[in-house]
Structure 1
Amino acid sequence: MLRRHSRPPAVAPDSILADTPTAPSDSSTATGEGRIPAFLPPSSVDWLVAVVVALFAVAEELSERGMAPQREHAAWWAVAGLVAAAGVLYRRRAPFAVLVGYSAANVAVFAVSAAPAGAWQFYTQLVLLFTLLSEVPIRSPKVAVGAVATGAYVVAMLINSTGSPGPGDFAVALVMTAIAAGAGLAVRRHRVLAVQAAERGELLAREAVAEERARLARELHDIVAHSVSVMTMQTGAVRLMLAPGQDRERETLTTVEETGRAALIELRRMVGLLRTADDDRLSPRAGLGRLDDLLDQVRAAGLDVTLDVRGEPAPLAAGLDLSAYRIVQEALTNALKHAGPTRAAVTIDHRPGELRLSVANEAPAHRPLGAPGAPGGGHGLIGMRERAALFDGTLTAAPLPSGGFEVRAVLPL
């Protein structure tokens, strides 16, 4: 059996588990090999594990120990330990090649030499097995080959050990190998779940953006359709007011009127394609002029909200007016959802060339256990940012020092 020591090896399971690369953002990691590209230099963790293996091997081979027989040619074994440490350094770049090469070299040495295996050799084999199973998919043929290579190493190590190995030796080797393999599988499983969770989050965010853009398109198409309808009716009214001799003008206005009606029909078709069952609850003509109705609804839901209008209100484009209303509406909804019944303040600041919006809520006096906190990255914020960006504006959302939350938007006029 391998030579025993009075102290455990320097490469503990915790340090092995720490040698796990950050889950790549590429979705292929969940199904393919998550190996590190060969051109990247080893990480600090790689260097740490390699140095530990090198020091462990050199200390074991060159130090005089009474609990284990000294092997011949100790200097050469120390050099072999340094070579193994170099393989450990690059094990994540080629986990399969390093494991198979290391296993084959050791089995060959055991076959031609009567020297028992060193403890550093066995622990290095476990590190390489852990790395292979944490980097390569379980269904890959490389996993099966790596398991066979590790089994061959363990058998050769036990056959070449000093004395006759007993059941306890086999049990220890089997248990330690199983622990390394299980840890590698667990790390890979955790990495795959992390990648899948990140992909689901990105997908939900993209769906939220698409949904909000579709809602914006529906609302703006309603506004445009209304404007085109007004233009068409006014053109027809002007045509009817023309004198009998103004045939050219009448023909031109008739063409404009017909074009407007055709555009209106196309716009209504497009709105019909974009519209969903939930659109009946939306008011396409909502704007800052209807904030009082919105605040009454929010107060009835339990949020004590105040309104402060500053500056001289200027006429706003219908789309901008609607988006400003929706930003305030979504910010108040988030405040009610995440902070519960508390106080909030809405500020509408009309400035030359821009419109500033602010919705700030206080922290609740008592937050129920498990209640959601500040809305740091929800879909509501995504929608508000989309609306601000549509008009080349900006939106910021951040917690307040007092524990509340504030949403600020600046919309150019």
Structure 2
Amino acid sequence: MIGRRQPWFPDVALAVAFTVVAVLLGREPEPGSQWQPQDALGIAITCLVNAPLAARRRFPLMVFALSSAVWVLFITLDYWPVVNSMGPFLALYTVASLRPLRPAAVCAVVMGAVWVYAGWRAGQPTPAVFAQAVVFPAVGCRFGVAARVSAHRAHRLAELAEQLRREQQDRMRRAVAEEQRRIARELHDVVAHHMSVINVQGGLASYVFDSAPETARSAIRTINETSHEVLGELRRMLTLLRTDADTGGPHDDPCHADGDAPESTPYTPMPGVSRLGEMAERITAAGVPVDLHIRGAPRPLTPGIDLCAYRVVQEALTNVLKHARPANATVVVSYDPRELTITVTDDGRPHRSLPDNVPPSSGHGLIGMRERARLYGGTLDVGRRAEGGFRVRLVLPA
């Protein structure tokens, strides 16, 4: 209702309906009263009382003034006041619903005075008339104020909802961009490593091509395998960056809290499944006992898959450390023929509040895990366990 153009048809229909009812009601005045039945003049005045209601929401104060003034004329000519009382009453309600309280209160006083004037014209200035002159305008004004407050709240809620939607979209876009930059940086390290290997092996093959053909062939095979791996990494990265992703974001790295250098430092090997034992020890030392189980025969993984598995386990255990203590966590790494399945479970319960020394979650961790899994063609399933606690299950092609 606030700040928007209102349709004109409902108000016009309401003005017509009020006019018809008033004309029909005025044909027979109150039995035993001195009021005269409506004649042609009375019908004309009735139309003038109710016609302004068609513009009540555009010009509420003017409509109330016109309707009340003509109503006073109607009463002065000894027509029954009740016939046209609803028009000014609706105009009063409209003023209270669209304008501040002060002009609405003034209009309520005016309407009460007109009501007292009608009683005086009838020769009945009784306490009942005075009571009606107070109660009826007060009720109309109160309902109008309530409608105005309700409309204002609805409008404000709509604005807040739209603002929240925009902020959520902005946060999501920022999260996607941050995670894409993070993945691109990590993949750059992998690509740089592979290109270094290719460069060295290429130089070796060229140097011993005539003197040691077997060594040269071995170097060429290494170049072939390494280039195949790096092309796969580049293909995955380009697939992610070309997609209008709607999820993604960075996540915290709690395992560096003890002062270790970040894994992305130049010439530092990327972390992988083989270093999950070190992570389990750090999380255990932080207060969450972690059991690590390896099923199947471990085998080498591509650097991207290895890093993805490591990061997902890292984020899952970080969430246990932040939100589920006291708890025990279990990490199961299963080497299946064509897949790598990692399951992280805990038996804790989420806390509503965190200790002062634990930073609140940014909300990007789960987004980042899903984005990493999708990048490498895997799936991530996150949810509560029926017996309590949480479960994170990652499946990657390997």
Q: Give me the TM-score of the superposition, normalised by structure 2.
A: 0.59
- Structure 1 residues 120-169: Cα deviation after superposition (integer angstroms, max 9, x where no partner): 97468647865x6xxxxxxxxxx8xx999968965764454343889967
1:201-350 to structure 2, matched below 5 A, reads 201-243=168-210, 281-284=261-264, 285-350=270-335
| Aligned counterpart, 1:163 | 117
Q: Give the deviation of 1:388 after TM superposition.
A: 0.8
Tell me, in whole angstroms, the C-alpha distance in 1 between the residues paired with 2:87 and 2:319.
Answer: 58
- Aligned-residue Cα RMSD (Å) equals 5.3
Tell me, in whole angstroms, the C-alpha distance in 2 between the residues paired with 1:289 and 1:34.
Answer: 63
CA contact (8 A) 2:96 2:148 kept: yes
CA contact (8 A) 1:363 1:402 kept: no
1:14-413 to structure 2, matched below 5 A, reads 99-100=57-58, 107-113=65-71, 114=74, 115=81, 118=85, 122=89, 126=93, 130=97, 157-158=111-112, 160-163=114-117, 172=138, 177-243=144-210, 281-284=261-264, 285-364=270-349, 370-371=353-354, 378-413=363-398
3-state SS in 2 of match to 1:346: strand
CA contact (8 A) 2:322 2:354 kept: no
3-state SS in 1 of match to 2:155: helix
Q: Give the deviation of 1:339 after TM superposition.
A: 0.7
3-state SS in 1 of match to 2:117: coil
Tell me, in whole angstroms, the C-alpha distance in 2 between the residues paired with 1:395 and 1:34.
Answer: 46
3-state SS in 2 of match to 1:100: coil
User: Could you tell me which amino acid in structure 1 is paired with residue 202 of structure 2?
Assistant: T
Aligned length: 307
Tell me, in whole angstroms, the C-alpha distance in 1 between the residues paired with 2:182 and 2:66.
Answer: 69
Q: Can you give the 5+ residue segments of structure 1 that lack an aligned partner in the other structure? A: 1-19, 21-31, 39-53, 88-96, 133-142, 268-277
Q: Give the deviation of 1:72 after TM superposition.
A: 7.9
User: 1 or 2 for the larger relative contact order (CA 8 Å, sep ≥6)?
Assistant: 1
User: Could you tell me which amino acid in structure 2 is paired with residue 282 of structure 1?
Assistant: P
3-state SS in 1 of match to 2:348: coil
Tell me, in whole angstroms, the C-alpha distance in 2 between the residues paired with 1:152 and 1:203.
Answer: 47
CA contact (8 A) 2:315 2:369 kept: yes
- Structure 1 residues 199-220: Cα deviation after superposition (integer angstroms, max 9, x where no partner): 3333233322222221111111
- Structure 1 residues 288-319: Cα deviation after superposition (integer angstroms, max 9, x where no partner): 01100011011011112212222333432111
User: Could you tell me which amino acid in structure 2 is paired with residue 303 of structure 1?
Assistant: V
User: Could you tell me which amino acid in structure 2 is paired with residue 243 of structure 1?
Assistant: D
- CA 1:213–1:103: 2 relative to 1, 3 Å: same
- CA 1:118–1:310: 2 relative to 1, 3 Å: farther
| Aligned counterpart, 1:137 | none
Q: Give the deviation of 1:335 after TM superposition.
A: 1.3
- CA 1:313–1:122: 2 relative to 1, 3 Å: farther
Deviates further, 214-223 or 165-174: 165-174
Tell me, in whole angstroms, the C-alpha distance in 1 between the residues paired with 2:367 and 2:145.
Answer: 47
Tell me, in whole angstroms, the C-alpha distance in 1 between the residues paired with 2:57 and 2:110.
Answer: 15
CA contact (8 A) 1:355 1:411 kept: yes
3-state SS in 2 of match to 1:163: helix
User: Could you tell me which amino acid in structure 1 is paired with residue 353 of structure 2?
Assistant: G
Q: Give the deviation of 1:377 after TM superposition.
A: 9.3
Tell me, in whole angstroms, the C-alpha distance in 1 between the residues paired with 2:292 and 2:91.
Answer: 68
Q: Give the deviation of 1:344 after TM superposition.
A: 1.3
Larger Rg over CA atoms: 2
Q: Give the deviation of 1:192 after TM superposition.
A: 2.8
Tell me, in whole angstroms, the C-alpha distance in 1 between the residues paired with 2:181 and 2:30.
Answer: 75
User: Could you tell me which amino acid in structure 2 is paired with residue 318 of structure 1?
Assistant: P
Q: Give the deviation of 1:197 after TM superposition.
A: 3.4
- CA 1:235–1:126: 2 relative to 1, 3 Å: farther
- CA 1:119–1:410: 2 relative to 1, 3 Å: farther
Deviates further, 403-412 or 215-224: 403-412
